[in-house]
């Protein structure tokens, strides 16, 4: 006799009731009727909810303001009514050093759940739901769910231990302590968690500006844990071999006259617009000499001599370079080179990128003038159209595997089947392990030669301005990817010289141009640095002022040291470092959360000291 769906459902329901009752030590027997089991379980849930409600219906203080002030001044216990808690929760201040928790107790006076008082995810109406079903009941059974979290790397470390995983797909995509995506299952629901930070160009506080009107009813206050996920791995030096992010003659400087931050307008889109187009066809090899009909080439060379030394050398140890880079080092530094070998293209250009990038740039200018946040999307699209060209192949993957009642040895079974490609296996919990494996790579397509084209073109834009400035004795004191710290009074002279030499306007807001880019809140007129201290790469101070009013502020940067640790006695700290003094900074003051990206453990950091000297 076939079993009907209704009978299967009844048996399943009875089984779940029995498991729940036994888990909570309720007086039931398998021989009891389903009706009796339901009554006992429902009575238990009801009494639990009443107990929780009673624990919240005590108010020791007389008004909302009294309670709010008391909470913000202490880390002690507070009993609140639900209605009062709803009213004041958005105004609760919760620094990282306070443990302000709302505890939910069961009938045995044991804490079954704790909430951070200003946790944005908490919904008061759901506080009384049964503990097991509080999350899963909100999602339909066997549903596919996409969850977004801002800075998901923090939240996922807590959630992933409650999910289950199979080996069908790569289910962890991370980058250091940041998690881009995690996919798994929770009680039969398919869950995918993505990090919104990977798709938005600004911080959480910028969402109201980005999505006008859509965030009016959303609370964006911070929780009690800081979300600056910084650890010592973030500070490994990665200095480039070339001039990017460098300072004059590799020496410290203390400048007491006006400087301008001379910034290139949309450098990489500008670089694309100045190309003849992307080269077409397949590369051909050459040796000893570059073919005369080459539209573009990438060559291995040996630099024999440099005829003109520069304060910011265009090349140091790079011996493989593209067409524009080689022409620049010859034209701007009078270099003598020997060609060894390389590859070239001679089938013309596809100029579609020039038209497209110009349309996108003009559209962004329009939206930016209107204050439309869509301009940020266009900015990201233009910059990523360069970054995409130089993507490396992904040769590793991470997979979470969990044991289950159906597959109690799933981790060991997976290990045996995949030992040949395994790099590591890290236990995450008693029932879960994180595998890192070599990823099968049969083919990888990346138009890196087009990336070289854009990169060379962007450097050429910077080289034109830098080398001309040095030729007319306009001192540049610091230079990074797309900007120059140059003598303020020499900017007009540089502009005139550029117009005379290249027949173009240097200053403006169009592609290929530069503009002074210091920002000073409340300023009027021209903004400049009245005093500057340059210590080394990515480490400097600029004391900002303007000629329209008395607004002043510091523009600071120090590789490896958060700005908050430099906020007090800022000028004196930079002067001490300039004079050779060694300073110690305790990064645990602002980076108190440590995330182990291998074991997925989140811990409190109590000591994280960094000594700095130049």
Lowest mean pLDDT among 61-70, 433-442, 519-528: 61-70
End position of a domain, from candidates 132, 166, 190: 132
In a domain, 211, yes or no: no
Q: Which tokens go with 345?
A: 């293209």
- 477 with 524, same domain: the answer is yes
In a domain, 582, yes or no: no
Q: Is the Cα torsion angle 42, 44, 47, 51 positive or negative in sign?
A: negative
Task: Tell which wins on pLDDT, 159 or 133.
Answer: 159
pLDDT tens sequence across 65-108: 665 666 555 444 555 555 666 566 555 544 333 334 454 444 45
- 28 with 126, same domain: the answer is yes
Confidence of residue 161 (pLDDT cuts 50, 70, 90): confident
Query: What is the rounded CA–CA span in Å between residue 449 and residue 456?
Result: 11
Q: Is pLDDT above 60 for 252?
A: yes
In a domain, 32, yes or no: yes
| Single pTM value for the model | 0.67
In a domain, 358, yes or no: no
What's the confidence (pLDDT) of residue 319? 81
- 3-class DSSP state of 149: strand
Confidence of residue 416 (pLDDT cuts 50, 70, 90): very high
What's the confidence (pLDDT) of residue 307? 81
491 Cβ partners below 8 Å, 6+ apart? 260, 262, 474, 507, 516
pLDDT tens sequence across 4-39: 666 677 778 888 888 888 877 788 887 788 878 888
pLDDT tens sequence across 556-571: 988 888 888 888 899 9
What's the confidence (pLDDT) of residue 271? 94
- 120 with 143, same domain: the answer is no
586 Cβ partners below 8 Å, 6+ apart? 565, 607, 608, 609
In a domain, 597, yes or no: no
Question: SS3 helix, strand, coil % of the chain, rounded to 5?
Answer: 35, 25, 40
Average pLDDT, the chain: 77
What's the confidence (pLDDT) of residue 587? 84
- 167 with 33, same domain: the answer is no
Q: Which tokens go with 294?
A: 């080459």
Task: Tell which wins on pLDDT, 244 or 261.
Answer: 261
- Alpha helices, DSSP H only, in 26-180? 34-56, 64-73, 82-88, 152-159
- 118 with 142, same domain: the answer is no
Q: Average pLDDT in the 457-482 region? A: 90
What's the confidence (pLDDT) of residue 119? 38
- 3-class DSSP state of 272: helix
- 259 with 318, same domain: the answer is yes
Task: Tell which wins on pLDDT, 445 or 131.
Answer: 445
- 3-class DSSP state of 197: helix
Q: Which tokens go with 348?
A: 């013309």
Confidence of residue 229 (pLDDT cuts 50, 70, 90): very low
Q: Is pLDDT above 60 for 244?
A: no
- 139 with 105, same domain: the answer is no
What's the confidence (pLDDT) of residue 602? 77
- 124 with 147, same domain: the answer is no
Confidence of residue 239 (pLDDT cuts 50, 70, 90): very low
In a domain, 572, yes or no: no
195 alpha-carbon distance from chain centroid: 9
What's the confidence (pLDDT) of residue 217? 54
Task: Tell which wins on pLDDT, 302 or 63.
Answer: 302
Q: Which tokens go with 439?
A: 């990823």
pLDDT tens sequence across 337-370: 889 999 999 999 999 999 999 999 999 999 989 8
End position of a domain, from candidates 438, 470, 493: 438
- Number of helices followed by number of strands (H, E) in the chain: 14, 28
Confidence of residue 139 (pLDDT cuts 50, 70, 90): low
- 411 with 525, same domain: the answer is no
144-149 and 189-195 beta bridge pairing: parallel
CATH code of the domain covering residue 299 = 3.90.1600.10
In a domain, 123, yes or no: yes
Q: Is pLDDT above 50 for 234?
A: no
What's the confidence (pLDDT) of residue 32? 82
pLDDT tens sequence across 538-547: 889 999 999 9
In a domain, 416, yes or no: yes
Q: Which tokens go with 138?
A: 């909100």
What's the confidence (pLDDT) of residue 213? 59
What's the confidence (pLDDT) of residue 100? 41
What's the confidence (pLDDT) of residue 224? 31
- 146 with 21, same domain: the answer is no
What's the confidence (pLDDT) of residue 343? 95
Lowest mean pLDDT among 41-50, 243-252, 406-415: 243-252
pLDDT tens sequence across 183-209: 888 777 788 888 877 777 666 666 666
- 23 with 114, same domain: the answer is yes
Q: Is pLDDT above 60 for 48?
A: no
End position of a domain, from candidates 438, 464, 491: 438
Number of independent structural domains in the chain? 3
- Domain that includes residue 65, residue range: 5-132
What's the confidence (pLDDT) of residue 238? 26
Task: Tell which wins on pLDDT, 215 or 392.
Answer: 392
- 173 with 254, same domain: the answer is no
């Amino acid at each position: 006799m076939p079993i009907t769906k209704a009978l299967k459902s009844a048996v399943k329901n009875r089984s779940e009731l029995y498991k729940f009752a036994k888990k909570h030590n309720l007086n039931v027997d398998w021989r009891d009727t389903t009706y009796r089991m339901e009554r006992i379980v429902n009575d238990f849930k009801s009494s639990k909810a009443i107990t929780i409600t009673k624990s919240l219906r005590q108010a020791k203080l007389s008004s909302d303001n009294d309670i709010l002030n008391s909470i913000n001044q202490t880390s002690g216990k507070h009993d609140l009514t639900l209605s009062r808690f709803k009213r004041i929760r958005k105004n609760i201040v919760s620094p990282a050093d306070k443990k302000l928790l709302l505890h939910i107790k069961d009938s045995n006076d044991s804490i079954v759940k704790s909430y951070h008082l200003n946790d944005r995810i908490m919904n008061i109406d759901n506080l009384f739901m049964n503990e097991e079903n509080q999350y899963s009941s909100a999602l339909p059974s066997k549903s596919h769910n996409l969850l977004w979290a801002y800075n998901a790397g923090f939240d996922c470390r807590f959630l992933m231990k409650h999910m289950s995983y199979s080996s069908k797909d790569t289910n962890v995509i991370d980058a250091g302590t940041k998690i881009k995506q995690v996919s798994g299952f929770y009680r039969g629901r398919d869950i995918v968690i993505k990090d919104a930070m990977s798709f938005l160009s600004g911080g959480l506080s910028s969402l109201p500006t980005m999505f006008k009107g859509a965030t009016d009813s959303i609370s964006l206050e911070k929780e009690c844990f800081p979300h600056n996920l910084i650890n010592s791995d973030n500070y490994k030096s990665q200095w480039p071999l070339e001039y990017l992010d460098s300072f004059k003659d590799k020496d410290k400087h203390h400048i007491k006259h006006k400087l301008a931050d001379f910034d290139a307008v949309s450098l990489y889109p500008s670089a694309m617009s100045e190309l003849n187009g992307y080269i077409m066809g397949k590369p051909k090899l050459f040796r000893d000499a570059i073919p005369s009909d080459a539209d573009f080439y990438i060559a291995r060379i040996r630099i024999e001599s440099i005829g003109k030394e520069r304060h910011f050398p265009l090349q140091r140890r790079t011996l493989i370079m593209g067409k524009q880079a080689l022409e620049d080092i010859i034209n701007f530094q009078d270099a003598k080179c020997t060609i060894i070998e390389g590859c070239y293209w001679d089938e013309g250009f596809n100029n579609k990128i020039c038209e497209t990038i110009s349309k996108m740039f003009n559209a962004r200018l329009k939206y930016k003038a209107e204050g439309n946040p869509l301009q940020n999307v266009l900015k990201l699209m233009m910059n990523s159209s360069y970054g995409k060209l130089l993507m490396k192949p992904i040769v590793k993957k991470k997979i979470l595997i969990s044991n289950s009642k159906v597959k109690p040895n799933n981790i060991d079974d997976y290990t045996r089947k995949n030992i040949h490609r395994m790099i590591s296996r890290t236990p995450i919990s008693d029932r879960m392990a994180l595998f890192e494996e070599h990823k099968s790579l049969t083919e990888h397509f990346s138009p890196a030669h087009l990336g070289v084209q854009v990169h060379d073109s962007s450097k050429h834009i910077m080289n034109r301005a830098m080398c001309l400035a040095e030729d007319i004795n306009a001192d540049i004191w610091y230079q990074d990817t797309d900007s120059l710290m140059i003598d303020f009074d020499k900017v007009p002279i540089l502009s005139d010289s550029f117009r005379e030499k290249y027949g173009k306007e240097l200053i403006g807001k169009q592609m290929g141009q530069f503009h002074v880019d210091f920002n000073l809140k409340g300023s009027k007129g021209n903004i400049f640095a009245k005093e500057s201290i340059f210590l080394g790469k990515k480490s400097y101070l600029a004391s900002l002022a303007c000629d329209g009013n008395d607004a002043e502020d510091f523009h600071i940067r120090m590789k490896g040291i958060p700005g908050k640790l430099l906020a007090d006695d800022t000028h004196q700290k930079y002067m001490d470092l300039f004079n050779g003094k060694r300073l110690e900074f305790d990064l645990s003051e602002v980076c108190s959360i440590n995330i182990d990206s291998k074991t997925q453990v989140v811990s409190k950091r109590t000591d994280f000291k960094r000594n700095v000297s130049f």
